[in-house]
Amino acid sequence: MRRLFAGVVVAVIVVIGAVLLWPAPDAGLVVYSGLDYGPTVAAAFTKETGIKVDIVRLSTGSLLARIASQGHHPAWDLAWFDGATAAMSLDQAGLLAHHLPAPTNLNATGKTMLSSQGAYIPTGMTLAGVFIYDPARLATPPTSWSDLTQPAYQGQVGMNDPSISGPTYPMLAGMLSNAGGWPQGQNYVEALKADGLHMFDKNDATLAALQSQAISLAIVQSSAAVYFAAAHPALKVIFPSPAFALPNVMVEAAGLKDRQRADAAKFMAFVMRPDIQKLRQTHGEADGDYWPITTDAPAPLPGLPGLGTLDTVTLDPARWGGLESAINSWFAKAMTDS
Amino acid sequence: MSASLTITGVSRKLGQRLVLKDISLTLGQGQFLVLAGESGSGKTTLLRLASGLDRADTGSIHIHGRLVDDAKAAFVPADKRKLAMVFQDFALWPHLSCLENVALATPPDTANRNAAAMALLDRLGVAAVARRRPAQLSGGQQQRVGIARALAAKPHLLLLDEPLSSLDMETRIKLRDELLETVREAGISALLVSHDPEDCWQLADHVAVLEGGVIRQHGAPRDLWMHPASAYIARFTGAAGGLSVPVVDGALEIGGALIRIPDKITTPRGKLFWRDGGVRMSGDGTGIAAEAISTHFDAGKFRVRWKVPGLPQPLVTFEPEPVSTGPGHIVINPEKFLLFTE
Amino acid sequence: MSLLRGMLLALLACLFIYPLERLLSLPFFVPSPGGIDSHAYLNSLGLAVLVGLIVAPLGALFAHALEVLKGRAVLALGFALWVLFLAPGYVLTTGWLVIFTSPVARNSAFGHAFLDVGGLIFLYCLKALPFAAFVARATFAQASSSLAEAAIVLGVIPWRRRLLALRLALPAIAASFTIAAIETIQEFGIPATLGVTTKFPIITYAIYQRLNTTPTDFAGAAALCWWLILTAGLLAVMQLSVQARHQAALTHGRARRNPPRDCAASETMLFGGSAALLWLLGVAAPMLALIDTALSGDISATDMLDSVPRSLGYGMLAASLALALGVIVLKLKAGRARWFPALLQVLLSANMAVPGLILGAGYVIAFNNDFLPLYGTVLLLIIAYTAAALPIAIRLMGTAIGQLDKKLDEAARIFALPSFVRLIDIEAALLAKPGLYAWLLVTASVMYELPISELLYVPGATPLGVAIVSADMMAEYGQAARLALLGLLSLGVLAAVLSVALNFVTRQQPETEAVP
């Protein structure tokens, strides 16, 4: 009996080990997706082309950190996330392939988002930071970034931590740029901090704080704000002037084999097809609330104003991508110094 | 016929301490050898070397003519030496029943191991508790199971590590008899480690006494009694005394008198022992003047303590009647004296 | 045997020394782009000392009660400490965060305090208390009761007796302080979940951020690791010196111990009250909050459910490997070579000063090259879990083996039992119960392990800890609670099944057929 038991225990452990450690069969194209619609799009792609896609859903922050940690031994082929600045950071570290096939039929906005070396392709656009607020607690909302420093909003405003939330750095960069650039814009951020700016991990946590009335106004990515407001009609969204464009981009790991490159190119073209963009809008949860940037694309979802009605600014990703490390370190220090 | 166990020039160091120094010892076929010595004398280390639980640093060990350890390449591990061992604290496997303990030690080629084990338990009078676990048994019963387990292994050589020392007196006396009887009946050689003189008298064909890592004396119990080679052996074999006395020109100085004795030593002081009758009270006022300082009843006699001028400790005699304290005399029989270098 | 020892040492070097060397040498060669800010370190050190000061006397008091008293109050206290010991810090934190999702609770004074440094201190204290109590208990367990009795018999007046008792308890209090401080400064799950690190940086989280958020800064993380390791080392040295100076007072000669006595009324009140408070704040409140939020909301929408069986599998596999390796280490340690145990002791004690976070960071750097391209694989994650669990596995198995009379194994060898029988019927059977508890403990700790999981998990195969914390970060507390509770449930089922099976296997045969 003892021996039988010992045998069974050993067998179970060996089976668990085998299941966990068994080398995965060729996974096909490995796509890291920071966007909610990634899995749906990948499934549609495999169904249509027969090319296998291993889609790995990660938050944008961990996705970027993973790619940076893997360095020149990438376990990924394509990555899809919000933020051209982040893509430029990766490119400056030499981790990205160049000369990616640019999407066809880009509209004017889309064309402004192209990378000069083809290190990334834009696949759509959101805004890095918009205001979502509770009218019951805040009668007159701010409409511009400079409004935020008014006494009425002291202690009422919350935002994400740029070191955790991937799409928040572009918003911070936008704030600094709007307040005079780097390093001149520091005064503005320091003033916000002095006014009692709250900080939370990510979009969802900042929105949860708004809901639990810890704050009255949240600065979050436009897609998160619009999606959340749709579910909580008591809350209102303001698109500040100016609003900073946050392209969602796709990048390819440097050094892929030809066959993988060809498959990757097919995937990049696939995601821009009008029918697939419809799929992205309808199966993307919050990320579905994006502005398409091709001429043949479906209209943005209701709840998103026309881009023409907004005052949007596109930051230079090369310049601000290179400053990310310095700005994030400064920001962390500025927010914790009392 | 080769000896059961031959140890030749064995040494063993534990840490910085040389625990065994150049030990040589032979145990004849079918003999019972008691290995005696004080705590820390190296008895257990020697037993572990013989059993193969430890390896010698120098020298060699043969069991039944087969080299089992030469302190170099040759080493036969414990499980290949065809030994059995009885432990001081029994070492019965607590998660197994007594029967399983014995059956597990029975050689695998035995026809019906359970029946053989049961027969041995029956032989030692513990068959009734065969299905119980060791913790449910008394110490004596556990050691009976321990002996049954050892015999079950059908060993060529039986090692016993103070097997009786953790038992009460009554059980010890009983089990000692049974042990001897069983071992003789099985016809196996046995090496028993002990510091109890009774084991030496009642069990041993030969006794080897270890002192400070060397064998101080090896012989029949009678030889040890007649000619103890050290103070410890004298005490171990029942000599009284242990006094430190001055030695002048090879004679002892006790109470101002010089006493010539057969044993000769050259040091200025010696350790004095005597066998029964070596020192007693003088009834007629002759002998050495001494002062009786106390009298106590002691197992049918009276223990009298004497203060003798020139001796640092009191001297003790056993008298048939109580002695009143105060001045008196003692007489000495040098023939019964044993003197050792201090 | 020395070949085996050499191989084992090479393995341990590969598991510990090589990755740590790669990580910790970084600051000497590569400048940190972000620069080193002592803020996080000073905050953590301050908290560690504060928590140590709060917890040490309490830990020693509870430990003393557990050693010398019996009764329901003490039993409840001991049990509460065990539950707190086993509860992962971030699960506890999640429970409390759920409580403060209600606007009323959140906006109360208590809520403001909790969601600030106050919450950190509170949770750190809860988590450090069992460590402090268990370490102090080990010190008291060696104490002879004759010391206190001598004071009574010799008529020492009560207040002098109390002073004497305090003096005797000093080594225990010092040990409590050190372990509480070390545990606090190394704790990762609580700061990672409570999210006050934006206002109040904590060193472990600062290290993690440099490693796992963009832009990554390994050199800066390594520099902070040095601070963490040196502090833990310094605290440990302090404790050893106090221990060495005062231990003699506690254990002299042969320690004799009295059986535990019943509590006096005041003691019942004190320890019963303490137990109730610990149960309420440490177990009931967060657990009920977790259960409540787990059952509300859309249960069917629970994401990442696969992380529960995955982490259970990781835990079972890593625990088996760690215990097997631990037993091999202990076997080889018991041999004749004296250099080996000494070297091993140094290696494993040093490893205690290195939390999983630092080990994981070392693995990221050390195993991401052309020769050892293991980063991003399950294999590396399992190896890291095993390495991190090895010291505790050795400790647990060492205690189990140490409690066994080694003559039992010697008897098996002398009686020439076949090695298979010896392994299964003697050694494994004797070690089965303590081995099972050790295995379950290690399985549970790996299953809920956080820092290594965060740094090394395979994208797309999220472990439980990462799933729970990322749900927390998105304020999806229902999801986090369901995952945490499902994990607990699966561990409970596993423990129950294995205990029953083991009891069945090791049960005593009925005595009826005893007569031959």
Print the domain residue range for B95: 5-226
A262 contact partners, CB below 8 Å, separation of at least 6 = none
CATH H superfamily, domain C1-30+300-506: MetI-like (1.10.3720.10)
**Has residue B340 got a pLDDT over 60?**
yes
- Tell me whether residue B233 is in a domain: no
A contact residues 250-279, partner C, Cβ 8 Å cutoff: none
Chain C residue closest in CA terms to B52: C414
* B41 and B107 assigned to the same domain: yes
Residue ending a domain, among B226, B247, B281, is B226
d(CA A152, CA C283): 41
Query: Does residue B28 share a domain with residue B119?
Result: yes
- Of C198, C320, C501, which is closest to A5 when you measure between CB atoms? C501
Same domain for B75 and B220? Answer: yes
How much is the pLDDT for C250?
46
> Is B232 inside any structural domain?
no
- Phi and psi at A272, nearest 5°, equal -95, -5
Mean pLDDT of B150-179: 89
Name the band, by pLDDT with cuts 50, 70 and 90, for residue C8.
Answer: confident
Same domain for B206 and B296, yes or no, is no
Q: Are the Cβ atoms of C430 and B93 closer than 8 angstroms?
A: yes
Beta carbons of B105 and C408 less than 8 Å apart = no
Q: SS3 of C261, please? A: strand
Give the per-residue pLDDT at C477: 87
- A with C: how many residue pairs have Cβ under 8 Å apart? 148
Tokens standing for C465?
């800890």
Q: Which residues contact C104 (CB under 8 A, 6 or more apart)?
A: none
Query: Which residues in chain C are closer than 8 Å to A65, comparing Cβ atoms?
Result: 211-214, 216
Asked if C251 has any chain A CB less than 8 Å from its own CB, the reply is: no
| Closest CA–CA distance from residue C425 to any residue of chain B (Å) | 9
Task: Encode pLDDT of A18-40 as tens digits.
Answer: 888 887 767 688 999 999 899 99
* Residues with Cβ within 8 Å of residue B138, at least 6 apart in sequence: B171
| Proportion of chain B above pLDDT 90, given as a percent | 47
Domain-located, residue B155: yes
Q: Is residue B152 part of a domain?
A: yes
The per-residue pLDDT for range C385-406, each reduced to its tens digit, is: 999 998 888 888 887 887 777 7
Q: Do B159 and C414 lie within an 8 Å CB cutoff? A: yes
Longest dimension (CA), chain B: 76
B191 and B217 both lie in a single domain:
yes
Task: Return the CATH fold of C33-254.
Answer: MetI-like fold (1.10.3720)
Binary contact (A73, C364; C-beta < 8 A): no
Question: pLDDT grade, residue B213 (50/70/90)?
Answer: very high
- Please tell me the distance from the alpha carbon of residue C1 to that of residue C335, in angstroms, as a whole number: 9
Q: Three-state SS string across chain A, please?
A: CHHHHHHHHHHHHHHHHHHHHCCCCCCCEEEEECCCCHHHHHHHHHHHHCCCEEEEECCHHHHHHHHHHHCCCCCCCEEEEECHHHHHHHHHCCCECCCCCCCCCECHHHHHCCCCCCCEEEEEEEECCEEEECCCCCCCCCCECHHHHCHHHCCCEEEECCCCCCCHHHHHHHHHHHCCCCCCCHHHHHHHHHCCCEEECCHHHHHHHHHCCCCCEEEECHHHHHHHHHHCCCCEEECCECEEEEEEEEEEECCCCHHHHHHHHHHHHHHCCHHHHHHHHHCCHHHHCCECCECCCCCCCCCCCCHHHCCEECCCHHHHHHHHHHHHHHHHHHHHCC
What's the CATH code of the domain at B137?
3.40.50.300
Distance to chain C for B43, nearest Cα, Å: 16
Q: Which residues contact B42 (CB under 8 A, 6 or more apart)?
A: B12, B19, B20, B23, B210, B212, B213
Q: Interior CA angle at C464 toward C459 and C468, to 5°?
A: 100
C165-222 pLDDT, tens digit per residue, is 777 788 888 888 988 999 999 999 999 888 766 678 899 988 888 887 666 788 888 9
Strands B240-248 and A120-127 turn out to be unpaired
- Contact of C411 with chain B, judged by CB distance below 8 Å, is answered with yes
More confident residue, C143 or A204: A204
Residues B262 and B202 placed together within one structural domain of the fold: no
In a domain, B322, yes or no: yes
**Chain A contact present for C194, CB below 8 A:** no
* Mutate which: C336, C414, C511, vs B, most B CBs within 10 A: C414
What's the rounded Cα separation, in Å, for the pair C296 and B228?
Answer: 90
- From B243, B207, B252, B246, select the one nearest B226 (Cα to Cα): B207
Question: Which is more confident, B10 or A303?
Answer: B10
What tens digit of pLDDT does each residue of B66-79 get?
999 998 888 998 88
Which residues in chain A are contacts of C34 at CB distance < 8 A?
325-326, 328-329
Enumerate residues 365 to 384 of chain C having a beta carbon within 8 A of any beta carbon in chain A.
Answer: 368-370, 373, 375-376, 378-379, 382
| Separation of alpha carbons C277 and C417, rounded Å | 54
Report the alpha-carbon distance of residue C95 to residue C470 in Å, rounded: 15
pLDDT of residue C495: 92
Instruction: Give the minimum alpha-carbon distance from C417 to chain B in angstroms, rounded to a whole number.
Output: 7
Question: Which chains would you list as touching C if contact means 3+ CB atom pairs under 8 Å?
Answer: A, B
- Looking at the complex, report in whole angstroms how far the Cα of residue B51 sits from the nearest Cα belonging to chain C: 7
Please check whether residue A299 is in contact with residue A124, taking contact to mean a CB–CB distance below 8 angstroms.
no
CA distance C501 to chain B (A): 16
Is C195 an 8 Å CB contact of chain A? yes
Tens digit of each residue's pLDDT (9 = 90 or more) over B106-149:
888 888 989 999 999 998 889 999 999 888 899 889 999 999 99
Residue B234 covered by a domain: no
Rounded distance between C-alpha atoms, residue B98 and residue C430, angstroms: 15
Pairwise CB contact (< 8 Å): A65 & C473 = no
For residue C257, what pLDDT is reported?
A: 62
Same domain, B217 and B263: no
Say yes or no: C507 contacts chain B, CB-CB below 8 A: no
Confidence (pTM): 0.81
B84 to chain C: which residues are within 8 Å by CB?
A: 414-415
3-state secondary structure of C252: coil
pLDDT at B189 over 60: yes
C-alpha pair distances (Å), A329 with each of A317, A336, C431: 18, 11, 52
Mutation choice for C interface testing from B95, B109, B114 by most C CBs within 10 A: B95
C-contacting residues of A 97-136, CB under 8 Å? none
Same domain, B169 and B271: no
| Each residue's pLDDT tens digit, B169-184 | 888 898 899 889 988 9
Q: Which of A8, A13, A30 is best to mutate for the C interface (most C CBs within 10 A)?
A: A13
Distances (CA, A) of A88 to A84, A114, A319, C467: 6, 12, 9, 29
Min Cα–Cα distance to chain C from B131, Å: 5
* Cβ separation A213–C103 shorter than 8 A: yes
Q: Does A231 touch chain C (CB under 8 A)?
A: no
Please tell me the total number of residues recorded for chain A in this structure: 338
In this structure, are strands B315-319 and B301-307 parallel, antiparallel, or unpaired? antiparallel
- For residue C472, give the chain A residue with the closest CA: A205
Distance from CA of C503 to the nearest CA of B (A): 12
Contact across the interface for A213 and C33, Cβ inside 8 Å = no
Beta-bridged to residue B208, according to DSSP, are: B35, B218
Are residues B134 and B16 both part of a single domain? yes
Query: Torsion over CA of A120, A122, A123 and A129, rounded to 10 degrees?
Result: 120
Q: Which of A1, A4, A8, A16 to mutate to test the interface with C (most CBs of C within 10 A)?
A: A16
Evaluate whether C52 touches C181 at the Cβ level (below 8 Å).
Answer: yes
Q: Where in chain C is the domain with CATH 1.10.3720.10?
A: 1-30+300-506, 33-254
User: Which chains have at least 3 CB atom pairs separated by less than 8 Å from chain A?
Assistant: C
Structural domain total, chain B? 2
At residue A278, the pLDDT reads: 92
- Whether residues B135 and B247 share a domain: the answer is no
- Name which residue leads in pLDDT, C19 or C395: C19
Residues of chain B in contact with residue C430, where contact means CB-CB under 8 angstroms, are 93-95
Q: Are C39 and C209 in contact (CB under 8 A)?
A: no
User: How far is CA C222 from each of CA C27, C170, C188, C229, rounded to the nearest angstrom?
Assistant: 6, 35, 16, 10
ipTM over cut 0.85: no
* Same domain assignment for residues B85 and B198: yes
* C256 pLDDT more than 60: no
Structure confidence at residue A56 (pLDDT): 85
How far apart are alpha carbons C307 and C465 in whole angstroms? 9
Residue in the structure block whose two tokens are 């003691």:
C267
Last residue of a domain, one of B197, B226, B255: B226
Q: Which of B79, B124, B133, B193 to mutate to test the interface with C (most CBs of C within 10 A)?
A: B79
Q: How far from chain centre, in Å, is Cα C109?
A: 32
Residue C252 has pLDDT above 60, yes or no: no
Q: How far is B135 from chain C (nearest CA, A)?
A: 12
Q: Which amino acid is at B176?
A: R
What tokens does A336 get?
Answer: 């914790």
Kindly report the average pLDDT of chain B as a whole number: 89
Cα separation of C37 and C203, whole Å? Answer: 10
- Note the pLDDT of residue B299: 86
Above pLDDT 90, what percent of chain A? 41
pLDDT for the residue numbered C215 = 67
Taking the CA of residue C125 and the nearest CA in chain B, the distance in Å comes to: 41
**For chain B, what is the HEC assignment?**
CCCCEEEEEEEEEECCEEEEEEEEEEECCCCEEEEEECCCCCHHHHHHHHHCCCCCCEEEEEECCEEEECCCCCECCHHHCCEEEECCCCCCCCCCCHHHHHHHHCCCCCCCHHHHHHHHHHHCCCHHHCCCCHHHCCHHHHHHHHHHHHHHCCCCEEEEECCCCCCCHHHHHHHHHHHHHHHHHHCCEEEEEECCHHHHHHHCCEEEEEECCEEEEEECHHHHHHCCCCHHHHHHCCCEEEEEEEEECCEEEECCEEEECCCCCCCCEEEEEECCCCEEECCCCCCEEEEEEEEEEECCEEEEEEECCCCCCCEEEEECCCCCCEEEEEEECHHHEEEEEC
